[in-house]
Amino acid sequence: MSYYSVENGPTLNGDAYSGRGTVVPYEFLENIMAKGAPLSLSSATVTLNASVTDPFPIWLGDSFHYATTSTPYTFAATGNPILSSAGVETTGALATDVWYLYAGLNSSNVVTIYPSQTAPAKADFRFNKSVFGHPGTSATKSYTYFGHVICTNSGTPAFVPFTKVGRTYLIPTASKLEQATTDDTNFVSLAFTGVEGLPSHSGVSVGGWGETAASDTIEIAYDASGSGATLITGPTNDVGTSPFNNMPLNSGQLFARHGTAAGDVHITSITDIV
């Protein structure tokens, strides 16, 4: 392939996009990572934000979508259009859990949000091998993962609030996820107050801080064996608090242990893959 040939591609006319194309090596397209999805949350409405001046590109299977308008989705206590674990479009009640958000084309080829309690995995669709999608084996079309929300109340829909910057969800201090460490010898999985879990797909990391007595310690780790253990508070810390960042989650779990007295681990940021 000559360098000039990449500039002489065809005009593209797909289901969700029409525009000028180019000739690009297939292997390159397979491994493109889009920018972080511009996601926002207001009460029970989550929105994939886009505009003419700030568009958002996303692959939907083998259809490329160049979003220039925002797409909202409002959760209700019951009757929500969702994806089942098998990848089938259905309706269901809200649950206190992590809800993974997928984008797909509806029957009118309009980009639509489909929440699911099933975590994303690498989807084996053309141009989509580096994009996480819904893993349901009964799916009849592509659903591309673009973010998540964490429900804290299913009766009157409520969620962990956030401001998303790039791929990172910044959680207000007043809504921080927290859990006391429970063992002074072993690293144990933490169950954070007010939520049923954290995102369980690979590539997610968290940040926050630990809090304990000024002369005590807390360590966090990737697993029960202490892999990647990080001391987040220690004897030289006069105020008894210490931050941590970019700690990978292990299938949605974070492990910790304390020294003499139990301490608290607070999460104030979650960095996703999109």
Bridge partners, 98 (sequence order): 150
What sign does the CA torsion over 237, 242, 246, 250 have?
A: positive
More confident residue, 216 or 201: 201
Give residue 3's pLDDT band: very low, low, confident or very high (50, 70, 90).
very low
pLDDT at 51 over 60: yes
3-state secondary structure of 30: helix
In percent, the amount of the chain with pLDDT more than 90 equals 58
Give the tens place of pLDDT for each residue, 207-244.
Answer: 999 888 877 889 999 999 999 999 888 766 655 678 89
Give dist(CA 150, CA 97) in Å, integer.
6
Local confidence band at 44 (pLDDT 50, 70, 90 cut-offs): very high
Looking at the predicted structure, is the pLDDT value of residue 127 above 60? no
Predicted confidence band of residue 265 (pLDDT cuts 50, 70, 90): very high
Gyration radius of the chain's alpha carbons: 21
pLDDT tens digits, one per residue of 8-40: 667 877 777 777 777 776 566 656 666 899 999
pLDDT tier at 60 (50, 70, 90 boundaries)?
A: confident
Phi-psi region of 146 (alpha: psi -120 to 50; beta: other; left: phi over 0): alpha
Q: Round the average pLDDT of the chain to a whole number and report it.
A: 87
pLDDT for 238 = 58
Sorted by where each begins, the domain ranges of the chain are: 4-159, 169-271
In DSSP terms, 76 is beta-bridged to: none
Binning pLDDT at 50, 70 and 90, where does residue 2 land? Answer: very low
**What does each C-alpha distance from 221 to 198, 215, 268 come to in angstroms?**
15, 20, 17
**High-pLDDT (> 70) share of the chain, %:** 88
Q: Which helix (H) or strand (E) holds 28?
A: helix 26-30
Mean pLDDT along residues 182-207: 91
